[in-house]
Chain A
Amino acid sequence: MDTFNTLTISLTILAAVRLIGALVFLDLFLQKRERKYILLCAGWLTLMAGSAWGLSTHLVRGEMENYWFSLLAGFGTYLVGCGALLYFNAIKYRTIFIGAGLIIAYGTLPLILPNLEIGVSPGVIVQALIALLVTFITLFKRKVFWGFARSSYLWLVALAVLADAQTLAFILGIFGPSNLGLGFCGTAITQFVAIVFFLHLEHSISTRQIRESESRYRTLSKHLEERVAERTLELHEAQEKLVRQEKLAVLGQLSGSVGHELRNPLGVMANAVYFLKLIQPDANEKVNEYLAILEAEIHTSDKIITDLLEFSRTKSADREPTPARELIKRVLERYPAPEGVTVSLKVPASLPPLFVDPGHIEQVFGNLVVNACQAMPAGGRLSLSARRQKDMLAIAVSDTGTGISPENMARLFEPLFTTKTKGTGLGLAVCRRLVEANDGRIEARSELDKGTTFTVTLPIEELARG
């Protein structure tokens, strides 16, 4: 009666544990829709069917029907084992079917062979072999545990040993027909632990996956942010350049047409003044003075118009080898520094020649030198120096003048921007156009009341020619 009760209780517990296993994997399958979960679910269901069959035959006949019980237990273990191996990516799906053939072969064995003397059917032996195989493969393919906590790995080993110890006990006859119930209780416990362990593993995997995808997401989003910032800057720069070019183009057209149109009336005025002077050689002093004023102002207007036209003209550089030292010297001859301004020239003759349009670049440096001198009304020091910078030559024009305020620095090269009371605001804009037409660049640094340095970087001959 004890055996009867123990067996009934143990088989009920076993069936319940296996049902829990089936439900756990059904739930996982419904969540994740992956085949391996349905395989695991089917395995646990088969195991449950085996124990339910054992329980019902035990209750109805008073004796447990061993053949189907063992066969279902063996097949269920096989499915769970395969599910576990698939879960760890240790085998491929097609391997399952080879194993299934073996199971069927094993299942037919008890029909041919007499019941084993130890009271265990071949199904149980299959169960033991599969448990050993699963353990062996998972141990062999250790890499499936990489990334998991070491404790998880030890858990699995312990579980396999436990499960096998229990099966081994059956095989060795430690649990005989007299204490089968105790054996089943052990099985129920190990299988319950297996399910709990699996859930723990599943949780740690998904946590790890979430952490991984979170970190990947963070990396990606950071990368994306960087790219967006980069592209935004590029776009911004491109847009600014476009707007600048557009402005320049409109300004060029406008100044071109206005400049030419103004030259006609200006020409008439100049003629009129010339005529008045011609026919009144003996005019009084006042008349002559005023005619001279008119003449001077007409000349200034013409100069402004010439600047405008210069600016509007499309620049194409006619480049040739140009020694920097000679070029700078020519500029200083053409635009001599006023009294009170000392000039320092540090442009070694040994520097490689520039490859530029000499007319353009002379105009640029002429402009910079004139500006520098104008910035030092009380005198100062004008320095011109050059040094090699990779495949370019950087020529700096420095003054010790009034300097430029930071807010003006930003607009320095804008056409029509000027701080001079008299000036078109085209000088530096023209400089930049000319420098850029020669594949160079122009930069300015300034400190209020200390001075300004313009650096023009231009290509040198040998490299420009390739």
Chain B
Amino acid sequence: MDKPFRVLIVDDDVNMMRTLADILAASGYIAETTSSALDGLGKLEANPFHCVVTDIRMQGMNGVEFQQVIKDKYGPIPVILITAYADHDLIVRGREQGALAFLEKPLNIPLLLSILRAIAT
């Protein structure tokens, strides 16, 4: 990676958000975290990101709505959706909106890292 690859992690489970950020940081990414979609939009406003990893089920705006807003406002930023639930309708909607990937929790970290690597190169 020539320039720092910035990933925004959005999850209302603080420990999930933290551990994921630490893994990404340890793997050479710049990971920023936030626990709500609204805060996430603030971060996106402040700084550009190469990729967004967001939980689907969250208080307030859910991950798929968040994905829609990102698409409308910032264009084609790759979004990876993660969830612990069988939110079939939301997953289908996310896919239709062009989500790059959908991962179930517990996350397959090697798979996530390989996806990120693929975006970065």
Contacts and interface: CB of A to CB of B under 8 A. Distances in A.
Given A268-B13, A268-B15, A270-B109, 9 more contacts: A264-B13, A264-B84, A267-B107, A271-B106, A271-B107, A274-B19, A275-B23, A278-B26, A313-B86
A260 interface: yes
Nearest to B110: A274
A19 to B, nearest CB: 98
B26 A279 contact: yes
Contacts of A275: 19, 22-23, 26
A266 B23 contact: no
Interface in A265-300: 265-272, 274-275, 278-279, 298
A430 interface: no
A271 to B, nearest CB: 4
A270 B16 CA distance: 10
A309 interface: yes
A266 B104 CA distance: 11
Interface string B43-60: 000000000000000000
Nearest to A272: B19
Contacts of B109: 270-271, 274
Contacts of B104: 263
A362 interface: no
Contacts of B107: 267, 270-271
Interface residues of A, number: 21
Interface in B79-115: 84-86, 104-107, 109
A302 interface: yes
Interface residues of B, number: 17
A363 B104 CA distance: 21
Contacts of A264: 13, 16, 84, 105
B18 to A, nearest CB: 9
A252 to B, nearest CB: 12
B27 interface: yes
A266 B105 contact: yes
B106 A263 contact: yes
A370 B73 CA distance: 52
B19 A263 contact: no
Interface string A407-441: 00000000000000000000000000000000000
Contact of B106 (A266, A278, A309): A266
5 contacts: A260-B86, A263-B104, A267-B16, A267-B105, A268-B15
A133 to B, nearest CB: 93
